[in-house]
Amino acid sequence: MLEANSTTQDLTLLQTLGLNHSLRSHLAGLDWPANTTAMRVVEVQRDRVQLLGAHQRACSARIAAELQQALRDEGQALAVGDWVLAGPDAFGEHWVRAQAPRLNALSRRNPEGLRQTLVANVDTALLVMGLDHDFNLARLDRYLVLTHAAGIASVVVLSKADRCAQVVQRLAEVQAHLRACREGPQAVLAVNGTQASARESLWPWLGAGQTLVLLGSSGAGKSTLTNSLCDAHLQGTGSVREDDSRGRHTTSVRSLHRAPCGACIIDTPGLRGLQLDVNRQELDEAFDDISGLAPQCRFRNCSHQDEPGCAVRDALSAARLKSYHKLQRELGREQRTPLQRQAQLSEWKSRSREARIRIKAKSGT
C-alpha cells in the first residue's frame, strides 16, 4: 500500500508533483513490488525514462520486461506525466515495475495509424498560437477536439502579443469563432511569453500540484512560455522564419518541469501533423455549437453545406463550419474498411480513365 511505502512528508511532496486524491487511490490499489516508491515520468527516452520522486530526487530508469510486454500487448507505452512504481535492483540500477492507471491522456494517431500517447494525467492544456503567421483557427479547432476528447480543460494562449499591432482584433476573432461553444476553452488570453506578466495572466491555472501541458506548432512560443512560467532557462528558444513564422524544433522531447508556484509544466515539440484519435461522437461533442443548432435545421439529415433552411450555416462562421467538415472527412477516411478503400480506389481509377477518354475525344487524337 502507498502508506506502507511512503512517509507523510513524502506524500505531501508527491502532491506537489501532481499526485491528487484520485491518482493516490490508483497507486494504493497496485500490488507494490518490494523496494519500490511512487515516482512520476518527466521524460521518455528511447530505452529509458527519467523519473522524479519525493524530495525532488531524479533518476534514470529502465522499464521492466514484464511491464514492457504488458504495455505492448495493450498498444501502449509510458508517457510523460505517468505515475509509476520504481526502485533499484541489487546493482543499483533503477527499474520501473508498474504503471498506475491514468486519469486521462492526450493521444494522436501516428503516420502508421497507431495510437500514440503524448502526455498523461493533465489538468489543463495551454493551446499556444502565435500572433503572427502561426495564427490559424482551423488548427486551433483541431487542438480543441484533441483536448475535449481527452476530457482535459483548455486555455487558448495567443503568444507574441508584443509583436502584433492587432491584439484586440485577434482576441475578438477567436472569441467570435467559438462564441456558440458550450464546452469551449476556459479562457482566451494574449500574452508576451518573455515577460513575467504571462505568469500573472495564467495564475488561475498554476496552483500547486496542477499539471499543465503546452501544445502548439513549432515556433509558437511554447518553450519561451515554459521558461517564463518556471522562472528559469529550461528550454532553448529559436528564431522563426520571417516569411511564414515557421520555427525550428527547439524542443525535441516532451518533458515535465516544476514551476516555483508548485505547478508542473509539460513542454512539447511542435506537432506538424496532428491526426486525431477520436470517433464521430467525440467530434460532434467537441463541436457542440454545431450539434446544438442542428435540430433547428429544416431537414433532419442536413449536412450544413448548401441545403435551404440550415440553422447552423446561418449562425456560425464559415471558418468554424469548414473545420468541422474537414475533420468529418478525415474521420470518414480513417474509419473506412479495406474493402471500402479498395472500392474508392477503383472509383477514382475509373473516373481518371473516363477523363482521359473525354480529353482524347475533344482533341481528336
Q: Specify the higher pLDDT residue, 33 or 6.
A: 33
Q: Residue 168: which pLDDT band, with cuts at 50, 70 and 90?
A: very high
List, in sequence order, the alpha helices (H) in 134-236: 137-150, 167-177, 197-201, 222-230
Cell of 334: 480513417
Q: Specify the higher pLDDT residue, 240 or 357.
A: 357
**Domains of the chain, each with CATH number or no CATH:** 2-103 (2.40.50.140), 106-267 (3.40.50.300), 278-365 (1.10.40.50)
Q: pLDDT tens for residues 271-311?
A: 767 888 899 999 999 999 999 999 999 999 999 998 999 99
Q: Residue 11: which pLDDT band, with cuts at 50, 70 and 90?
A: low
Contacts for 11-17 with beta carbons within 8 Å, 24 or more apart?
13/54, 13/55, 13/56, 14/38, 14/40, 14/53, 14/54, 15/208, 15/209, 16/208, 16/209, 16/258, 16/262, 17/52, 17/53, 17/209, 17/258, 17/264
pLDDT at residue 109, rounded to an integer: 87
Distance CA 212, CA 267 (A): 9
pLDDT at residue 244, rounded to an integer: 46
pLDDT at residue 4, rounded to an integer: 46
pLDDT at residue 342, rounded to an integer: 60
Q: pLDDT tens for residues 39-82?
A: 999 999 988 999 999 877 789 999 999 999 999 999 899 999 99
Residue 358: Cβ-neighbour burial (10 angstroms; 0-12, 13-18, 19+): exposed
Q: pLDDT tens for residues 94-119?
A: 999 999 999 999 999 887 778 899 99
Q: Residue 199: which pLDDT band, with cuts at 50, 70 and 90?
A: very high
Q: pLDDT tens for residues 317-361?
A: 999 999 999 999 988 876 544 554 465 556 656 777 777 777 777
Q: Residue 28: which pLDDT band, with cuts at 50, 70 and 90?
A: confident
**Dihedrals φ, ψ of 199, to 5°?**
-65, -35
Q: pLDDT tens for residues 118-165?
A: 999 999 999 999 998 889 999 999 999 999 999 999 999 999 999 999
- For 219-240, what is the mean pLDDT? 76
End-to-end CA distance of the chain: 82
pLDDT at residue 358, rounded to an integer: 75
pLDDT at residue 114, rounded to an integer: 82
pLDDT at residue 335, rounded to an integer: 55
